[in-house]
Amino acid sequence: MSSLGDAELDLCRQMRQELHRYPELSGAESGTAERLQRFLAAHIRPDEMLTGVGGQGVLALFESPRSGLTVVFRADMDAVAVHEINVLPYRSEHEGKAHMCGHDGHMATLLALGFRLARERTESGRVGLLFKPAEEDGTGAMAVLADERFQALAPDYVIGWHNLPGTALGTLLVRAGSFACASCGMAITLTGKTSHAAKPEDGISPQVGMCRLLEQLSALSTPVENDDAFALATVVYARLGEPAFGIAPGDATIMVTLGTAADDRMQALRQKAEMLVRQEAEQAGLAWSISYSDDFSATENHPAVVSLMLEAAEDAGLVAETVDRPMRWSEDFGQFTRHYKGALYCLGSGESCPQLHNPDYDFPEALIEQGSQVMLHAARRLLTVSEPA
pLDDT-above-70 percentage for the chain: 97
pLDDT at 388 (0 to 100): 63
CA neighbours closer than 13 Å in the CB half-sphere of residue 338:
15
- State the angle between helix axes of 366-382 and 303-315 in degrees (0 to 180), rounded to the nearest 10: 120
118, 45 contact by CB (below 8 A): yes
pLDDT at 226 (0 to 100): 60
pLDDT at 384 (0 to 100): 87
pLDDT at 330 (0 to 100): 95
Residues of the chain with pLDDT under 50: none
Q: Can you say whether the dihedral through the CA atoms of 193, 194, 197, 202 is positive or negative?
A: negative
End-to-end CA distance of the chain: 23
> Which residue segments constitute the domains of the chain, with CATH numbers given?
6-180+298-382 (3.40.630.10), 182-296 (3.30.70.360)
Q: Which helix (H) or strand (E) holds 7?
A: helix 6-21
Question: If you ran DSSP here, which 8-state letter would residue 32 be given?
Answer: H
- The CA-atom distances, in angstroms, between 191 and each of 11, 187, 201, 279, 281 are 55, 13, 16, 14, 9
Q: Which of 21, 13, 19, 24 has its CA nearest to residue 37?
A: 19
pLDDT at 223 (0 to 100): 74
Which residues lie below 8 Å from residue 34, measured CB to CB, with a gap of 6+? none
| Residue 228: CB atoms within 10 Å | 8
pTM of the model: 0.92
pLDDT at 215 (0 to 100): 98
pLDDT at 3 (0 to 100): 73
> Could you give the strand order of the β-sheet that contains 287-296, starting from the edge strand earlier in sequence?
231-240, 251-260, 182-191, 287-296
Residue 72 and residue 159: Cα distance in Å, rounded? 6
**∠147-259-338 over CA atoms, to 5°?**
30
